[in-house]
Structure 1
């Protein structure tokens, strides 16, 4: 796909964000669950919820990556979405956010990779709080303490599945079978599924969750299985020789 103003498929993504915004405002929901897609799908719903509840919200960004890049540094918008929600980045994406999140509303949970954008302008002055994977292994106290200090009336949760330990959960883009072993060694170890479940349950026991986004699901095994079944006798086409474009194994 072509790059437009430093962002791959910029106009298509803008159109999708605006379409989502229109649908949300049509129904005016109290709560939203988003199943991605990449992280950019949360731009419209989280912007809506923050405006709806007058900024009396907290956003737990449960992710291996901060998603605060700008077009000058990274061309894919999925890594820009939190920057946009904070009022930073491409002007048209930022214009889709009627009420910006304050840095004090955001807590990174499980963050352990691609931290460089946090030190770029103007993010370095925002001093976004974060709790690393080691700090949530035993209990959720650091997350609950942060929430207790802010006492938001509502919370939103961004849950990027790449925060999970790749040895335990493999339905991720980076877990492509051909490079899985290499990446498993190269990337920092993520959090266990049980750890993330416990943290989110603990937060939800004390605060009302109005937004939950689950993103970056990429089930390689299911895709390969679907392609295989479509080419087998009785259930598929035995003359079909078409492999998935990304299957170079």
Structure 2
């Protein structure tokens, strides 16, 4: 109910201003439901959606409990009926290219999706150049491109401001993490896309700055700055 309220609030603000382009700074991936649905409706489905993410985010409630992993399914008209109702013009599978996808691939084969064909550019496909992404866009010639950029598509060894990079479990997570992309690789891909196509939407999600969180915790408990009797840390969401 909280997430639906937030999505509807965002939708109301967007409809009030009717922008031609939208930038979204998350939050988790679910924050893109309203703005991306708006852009696809505004441009009559003549869009391409680059899902730049280590994960496909097409899970359904029966398989995964947390909405951040459902949002692309919702944008395609699949999943919880209340979230799907917030998408007036669902994206078609042929509008979507996964970029950097390399984890939770089994979600692409759930029952609602099993007959859909999805295009994927893996971390290996984009490591040397952006040709696979550009060729895919050139074959579709959309009037607008929408980019979802989940920061977890970046290599955990290079970029650590992610929830899974908890310092207490970091070494374990690095050892288990699948291959991801470098910062420079993703920058190059998105620059190349923007040079050749009209980007109307950009969402950047899943930022969690552990150093800032730990600094805040420390300052709140130091003499002159905080409470020297404070023992507890600020809470954070650790539900995946």
TM norm structure 1: 0.93
Alpha-carbon deviation of 1:234? Answer: 2.8
CA distance, structure 2, for counterparts of residue 13 and residue 232 of structure 1: 35
1:215-240 Cα deviation digits (max 9, x unpaired): 00011111011110122123323233
1:191-232 CA-partner distances (Å, limit 9, x unpaired): 000000000000000111110000000111110111101221
Report how far residue 242 of structure 1 moved. 2.8
Task: Return the match for 2:123 from 133, 147, 150.
Answer: 133
Once the two structures are superposed, the pairs formed by residues 126-205 of structure 1 within 5 Å of their partners are 126-205=116-195
Question: Following superposition, which runs of at least 4 residues in structure 1 exceed 6 angstroms of deviation?
Answer: none
In structure 2, the CA distance between the partners of 1:99 and 1:245, relative to structure 1 (3 Å rule), is closer
Note if contact 1:32-1:45 (Cα within 8 Å) is conserved in structure 2. yes
Aligned counterpart, 1:3: none
Q: Is the 8 A contact 1:60 1:157 kept in 2?
A: yes
2:108 paired with 1:118: yes
1:96 aligns with 2:102: no
Paired residue secondary structure (1:24): helix
Deviations 1:41-94 (A, max 9, x none): 000000000000001100000000000000000000000000001110011110
Match of 1:83 in 2: 73
Equivalent position SS for 1:144: helix
Tell me the SS of whatever aligns to 1:130. Answer: strand
In the alignment, structure 1 residue 69 sits paired with structure 2 residue 46: no
Q: Is the 8 A contact 1:160 1:216 kept in 2?
A: yes
- In structure 1, how many angstroms separate the alpha carbons of the residues matched to 2:74 and 2:138? 26
CA distance in 2: counterparts of 1:220 and 1:114, whole angstroms: 24
Q: How does 1:9-24 map to 2 (within 5 A)?
A: 11-24=1-14
Offset at residue 187 of structure 1 (A): 1.4
Contact 1:66 1:108 in 2 (8 A): yes
Number of aligned residues: 237
CA RMSD of aligned residues (A): 1.2
Quote how far apart the aligned CAs of 1:244 are: 3.2
